[in-house]
Structure 1
């Protein structure tokens, strides 16, 4: 992460946008602010950004639709910033591919900590990719998980699309096969100590992973639930 990491803020409230921009600029970030999805697309077409701060309640195309579209076309970290604080909104945002979630009103220091955490993870992934394939591929039950390129390949050879959060969770399970991991441990392994908004989303992510890698998601054999404890990847995992 560079000292002047560039952030694209998509926020239709001019006052809130100015407050966020001023605070982040004072903390060595370069911030560009736009008010809707169309302006965001124009900004992204002109230059490269390292992270998007995205409000949900936007005029025109809503933030969840924008988040889904961004995730499908770009490997760009996304933090949702919104007044909608219900758990269902957090989970939907996560399912759409958000890397983190901050509910208004928030402490600016919390927002700053989450931005730095997401950028650190993105930077680490980039460094892994630059390092090449060595020690970056997991295999189990015919599945191939390429950590460098963040690609998941099914036993049949087809690529399986995953959100950033789904991939990070699968990565964590691969690193600790045949070991029970609690929800708190999975949160810390995937999002670190600032992962508050994701506390109730692990079950949702597990369910989505099962739909993608299990033969029968209702009777899972790979990702096992250990009652009152957590989850376990029940497979022989090799790393190369």
Structure 2
């Protein structure tokens, strides 16, 4: 699997979200898309997966320009079935599906003819045992999120596009899912994740895409881009990096005012 973009430009409602973005994504890599709200992270994921532009765009829909190739072809040139074998998406569950049971929702993620015992395996992997017959509308937001992640792991696609996968998850399930992502990456899957958690980004990412919200975008190695000066500019908030206090723990990022508060000072001093 290879996904390549050259001179990619995205616009929505007459506003340019990003321009001149070059990317090369391969198996065994994890990339993070970071930026303020509305910068275009979710829109970028949809474009990378071939869901944009829509076949019959309406006013306000995203517009795409530049070159985008998935395994040598424009993503939209693949049939829906062919694309589904290459790309899997995780995002918010539409309320229209809240009437489904957990088992039914996970069954929809399986290709025809695949052993349905995998549903139970995925449910166990995401700590959903005992919830299989519950309706999605009866679950908490965090439980529904775990259902969508379980549906994702049932897909054999080599490219995963994840839109804030740890949103609504408690700390235990966040840690569990991050370990799952690391294992999938190490097994050769390519992951692209939009998120707001900079600690998670620094812990997992091989590459980073920074969307500044004004058309500017940068992509490159995480070690070069996930640094305090660039992240401070990205979020218009002074940030500092604090090294973790034990082996195997990722660095922590915090607003610069946190140190002042810890010292008993204030930002005005």
Structure (1 or 2) with the larger CA radius of gyration = 2
Point out the structure with the larger strand share. Answer: 2
Shorter-chain TM-score tier: 0.3 to 0.5
- Structure with more helix by fraction: 1
TM-score by length of 1: 0.33
Q: What TM-score, normalized to structure 2?
A: 0.31
